[in-house]
């Protein structure tokens, strides 16, 4: 066994997952330098174990015992990299907290990421599901990332097209799952900033504050207040953010549903299909504010499942399945779960 990697056994994961599940890692390794990944790869015993990469733990539902090597990515550091006529390029290591990074870019006088304020999790996890909120997705400002390739042992650079970003999706959830470890992400932040207020809530909030020409910081402050009013703080109530993706359905199905439910929320997509509001569908099924076992549906936002205290992964799975089956039964729509079940 390599002595410079300090392998731990039976490590509690309660504080390392935002849903607050009292799981235990059979084996645990904290990575603070990229070079340790190469050591891990070269270690015959460790590299043969199934692996779970852990960032902020905010998109996970854990089982009681994780029979794997849990690898916590704690690479830190952020910097202004370079600039050209149009952009300033900033980079952050995978272990940095996303929200702190966003605030830091604003402190540097750089706008772009403000709509993504207060999203839990780490910088390294952000590209995996292409985090998004209030009309902006991470891919809008993404430039490239570096990743450690477990297959070859090399560090690779991947540009935007290589990452195949889509709504809450990327190649890291697919072909590169279990293969690439994101080390550092670089964003291109525009020198000429334009506010993005296509999401009603934010414009409304700024109007009530009489802010006519908002700065990136004003938008960030507004989004922090809006999120805090709708979404539970994982430090207080365990949760994994939106538990389901907003489903994208063909126009025929959406039209048929609107005919029966005129108040149904939907957003047309560029290809003519429609995104439905999963929170609305779940609320219509009567689940908002309800619970099953020790897992509840958040009373202010039905898309968020919460830990009512001591919930297990199995209980979360059970409620998620019940909700999916009710939504399928009532609307004929399949909800896709957003967090990963381990």
Catalytic residue among 18, 91, 170, 242: 242
Catalytic residue among 168, 184, 254, 266: 168
220's tokens: 């960030």
CA distance 92 to 85: 21
Contact, 190 vs 86, CB < 8 A?
yes
User: In 86-98, which positions are buried (b, 16+ CB within 10 angstroms) versus exposed (e)?
Assistant: ebbbbbbbbbbbb
Q: Is 184 one of the annotated active-site residues of the chain? A: no
Query: Shortest approach of ligand EPU to residue 8 CB, angstroms?
Result: 30
CA distance 298 to 315: 15
Q: Is 168 one of the annotated active-site residues of the chain? A: yes
Of the two residues 79 and 267, which places its CB atom closer to ligand EPU in the complex?
267
- Tokens 């979360």 correspond to what residue? 316
Of the two residues 121 and 150, which places its CB atom closer to ligand EPU in the complex?
121
CA distance 20 to 306: 9
Q: 251: exposed, middle or buried (C-beta count within 10 Å: 0-12, 13-18, 19+)?
A: middle
Of the two residues 27 and 244, which places its CB atom closer to ligand EPU in the complex?
244
Of the two residues 111 and 150, which places its CB atom closer to ligand EPU in the complex?
111
Binding site for ligand EPU (CB under 6 A): 133-134, 199, 230-231, 241-242, 245-246, 265, 277, 279-280, 283, 288, 301-303, 338
Query: Shortest approach of ligand EPU to residue 226 CB, angstroms?
Result: 8
Cβ neighbours of residue 331 closer than 8 Å, sequence gap 6 or more: 257, 281, 284
Within 10 Å of residue 132's Cβ, how many Cβ atoms? 19
Query: Shortest approach of ligand EPU to residue 323 CB, angstroms?
Result: 12
Query: Shortest approach of ligand EPU to residue 126 CB, angstroms?
Result: 11
CA distance 15 to 215: 35
- Nearest residue to 117 via CA among 129, 105, 127: 105
Of the two residues 95 and 241, which places its CB atom closer to ligand EPU in the complex?
241
Of the two residues 145 and 231, which places its CB atom closer to ligand EPU in the complex?
231
Helix (H) or strand (E) holding 316: helix 313-331
Count of H helices and E strands in the chain? 9, 20
Contacts for 281-290: CB closer than 8 Å, 24+ residues apart: 281/247, 281/327, 281/330, 281/331, 281/333, 281/335, 282/244, 282/323, 282/327, 282/335, 284/330, 284/331, 285/323, 285/326, 285/327, 285/330, 286/326, 287/323, 287/326
Query: Shortest approach of ligand EPU to residue 60 CB, angstroms?
Result: 12
Helix (H) or strand (E) holding 157: strand 155-159
Query: Shortest approach of ligand EPU to residue 205 CB, angstroms?
Result: 12
Q: Is 338 one of the annotated active-site residues of the chain? A: yes
Query: Shortest approach of ligand EPU to residue 198 CB, angstroms?
Result: 10
Of the two residues 40 and 223, which places its CB atom closer to ligand EPU in the complex?
223
The residues annotated as belonging to the active site are 168, 242, 338
């Amino acid at each position: 066994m390599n002595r410079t990697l300090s392998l731990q056994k039976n490590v509690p994961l309660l504080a390392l997952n935002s849903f607050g599940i009292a799981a235990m890692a059979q084996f645990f390794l904290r990575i603070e330098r990229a070079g340790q990944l190469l050591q891990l790869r070269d270690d015959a015993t460790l590299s043969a174990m199934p692996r779970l990469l852990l960032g902020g733990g905010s998109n996970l539902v854990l089982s009681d015992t994780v029979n794997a090597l849990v690898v916590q990515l704690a690479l830190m550091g952020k910097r202004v990299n370079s600039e050209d006529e149009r952009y300033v390029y900033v980079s952050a290591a995978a272990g940095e907290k996303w929200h702190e990074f966003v605030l830091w870019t604003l402190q540097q006088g750089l706008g772009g990421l403000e709509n993504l304020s207060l999203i839990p999790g780490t910088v390294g996890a952000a590209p995996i599901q292409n985090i998004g909120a209030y009309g902006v997705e991470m891919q809008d400002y993404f430039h490239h990332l570096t990743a450690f390739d477990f297959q070859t042992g090399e560090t690779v650079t991947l540009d935007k097209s290589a990452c195949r970003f889509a709504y809450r999706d990327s190649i890291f959830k697919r072909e590169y799952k279990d293969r690439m470890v994101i080390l550092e992400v670089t964003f291109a932040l525009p020198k000429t900033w334009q506010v993005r207020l296509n999401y009603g809530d934010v414009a409304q909030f700024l109007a009530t504050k009489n802010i006519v020409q908002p700065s990136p910081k004003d938008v960030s402050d507004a989004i922090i207040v809006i999120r805090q009013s709708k979404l539970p703080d994982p430090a207080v109530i365990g949760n994994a953010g939106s538990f389901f993706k907003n489903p994208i359905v063909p126009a025929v199905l959406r039209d048929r549903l609107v005919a029966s439910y005129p108040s149904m929320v939907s957003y047309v997509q560029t290809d003519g299909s429609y995104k439905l509001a999963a929170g609305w569908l779940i609320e219509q099924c009567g689940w908002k504010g309800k619970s099953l076992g020790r897992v509840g549906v958040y009373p202010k936002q039905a898309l968020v499942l919460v830990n009512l205290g001591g919930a297990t992964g199995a209980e979360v799975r059970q409620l998620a399945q019940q909700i999916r089956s009710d939504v399928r039964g009532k609307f004929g729509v399949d909800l896709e779960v957003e967090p990963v079940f381990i």
